[in-house]
Amino acid sequence: MWIDIAQKFSDKWDFTHCIGAVDGKQIVMKASPRSGSTFYNYKVTNSIVLMAIADADYRFIYIDVGCNDRASDVFGKSTFQKALDNNILRLPLPQPLLNRDRDCPYLLVADDAFRMQKLILKPYPGKNLTAGHRIFNYRLSRARRVVENVFGIMAKRFQILYRPIQLNEQKTTQITLACCTLHNFLINNTDAKRISQSELASGVVKSVCIT
C-alpha cells in the first residue's frame, strides 16, 4: 500500500517517496455548557480538530478527530505517531532517489506547524532561500496541498462543515467521522480525476479554513 501511495504522489505531484500529506482542520461547534474554555481556540470559536493524512487520490488514509489541541499536537498524541515511533507501520525500506546513490526514507509531508522529526518533511523556513530551496518548497507545497484539497472537497459535499455545528463535542465527532467515511466511499466509487478537476476548479480549496 505504501509503495502504491508513494508512486501516485510521484506520478501526480512530482514528489517522490511521499506516503501521505498531513494537516489539520478546525471543526467549529457549539460547546456544551460545562466545557468552559476546553474547546476554545485561537480563532475565538469552539472547535475540535480533525487531523488527517491523505493520499494522492484525495482519500483519507488516517484520521484522528475529537481533540481540542492544535493539529500538530494532535498528531504528536495520535496512534499514528505511536505507530511511527514503534516502527510497526511496515513502511518500505529506504531506497535511493532517481539517479542518486544515498538511501532516502519514505516520508509524510507537512507544513511549518508540525515539529520536525525523522519521517516528517517540512519546507525550508525563512525568506532568503536559495533557488534550490525555493524549488523544493514549491514542490513540497504541491504535494502537501492534497490534504487541504481533501478538506475542501469534503466540506463542499457536506456543507454542515461550512458553519458551526450546533451539537456537543461527542456528536460533532461522530458527524465528522461519518463525513470522512462517506467522503472516501464517494472517492472510491467515482472518477477521482473528474472530481479533482471539477470541484477544485470551483474554488473549493479557497473556501475552507485550514489550520
Q: Strand, helix or coil at 40? A: strand
Q: Whole-prediction pTM value?
A: 0.79
- Report the amino acid identity of residue 207: S
Work out whether the CA dihedral 146, 27, 204, 199 comes out positive or negative. Answer: positive
Most confidently modeled of 59-73, 114-128, 149-163? 149-163
90, with CB counted inside 10 A (0-12, 13-18, 19+), is: exposed
pLDDT, tens only, 151-193 = 999 999 998 998 888 888 889 899 999 999 999 999 988 755 5
Distances (CA, A) of 198 to 49, 69, 118, 172, 192: 27, 33, 36, 29, 10
Contacts of residue 61, Cβ cutoff 8 Å, sequence gap at least 6: 5, 20, 53, 54, 55
Distance (Å, rounded) from C-alpha 182 to C-alpha 177? Answer: 9
State the cell numbers at 202.
470551483
Domain residue extents for the chain: 2-207
pLDDT at 52: 92
Instruction: Indicate the range of 89-93, 147-151, 189-193 predicted with least confidence.
Output: 189-193
